[in-house]
């Protein structure tokens, strides 16, 4: 028995006895679904523990972001070697970035100011811009990658 959405199999059930499920016949099924907010993490990489988003203080086509990273000994890393790697997709540009020690979580906060382009006249839909941030120690990644789609 398969559930198909948009041409993709999204669930598949296989009984213990092949051929027992017949088309057009009702069947009672029971299952358990388990999930959690925390996903298994690579304990060698710091994790994103919070994200905050705000508007520019004087309006305009932009956003402010504060991304907090913690774990994997991140708070003890040498700040001279630590740097954010920031990628801003087409349709926006990075105006300002700051890396701040965050002793409350024994980690670091990346603060960003991103400015988007004014939308073309008559554009009815928001335009997506993908933002990505991760921390590096030299060339070595030391955090997971934060990914955010900004609909400007």
pLDDT digits (tens, 9 = 90+) for 4-50: 555 555 566 666 777 677 778 777 766 666 666 666 556 899 999 99
Domain containing 52: what range?
A: 47-151
Tokens standing for residue 97: 């970035």
Q: Is 121 a member of any domain?
A: yes
Q: What is the pTM of this model?
A: 0.72
The structural domain count of the chain equals 1
Q: Can you give the CATH number for the domain in which 111 is found?
A: 2.60.40.10
Q: Is 19 a member of any domain?
A: no
Q: Is 10 a member of any domain?
A: no
Q: Is 89 a member of any domain?
A: yes
Q: Is 79 a member of any domain?
A: yes
């Amino acid at each position: 028995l398969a559930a198909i959405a948009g041409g993709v199999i999204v669930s598949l059930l296989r009984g213990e006895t092949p051929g027992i499920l017949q088309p057009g016949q009702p069947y009672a099924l029971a299952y358990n679904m388990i999930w959690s907010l925390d996903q298994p993490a690579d304990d060698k990489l710091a994790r994103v523990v919070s994200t905050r988003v705000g508007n520019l203080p004087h309006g305009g086509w932009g956003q402010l972001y504060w991304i907090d990273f913690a774990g994997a000994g991140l708070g003890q890393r040498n700040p001279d070697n630590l740097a954010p790697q920031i990628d801003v997709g087409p349709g926006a540009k990075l105006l300002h970035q700051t890396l701040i020690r965050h002793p409350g979580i024994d980690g670091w906060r990346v603060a960003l100011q991103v400015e988007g382009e004014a939308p073309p006249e008559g554009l009815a839909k928001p335009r997506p811009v993908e933002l990505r941030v991760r921390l590096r120690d030299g060339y070595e990644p030391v955090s997971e990658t934060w990914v955010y789609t900004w609909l400007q």
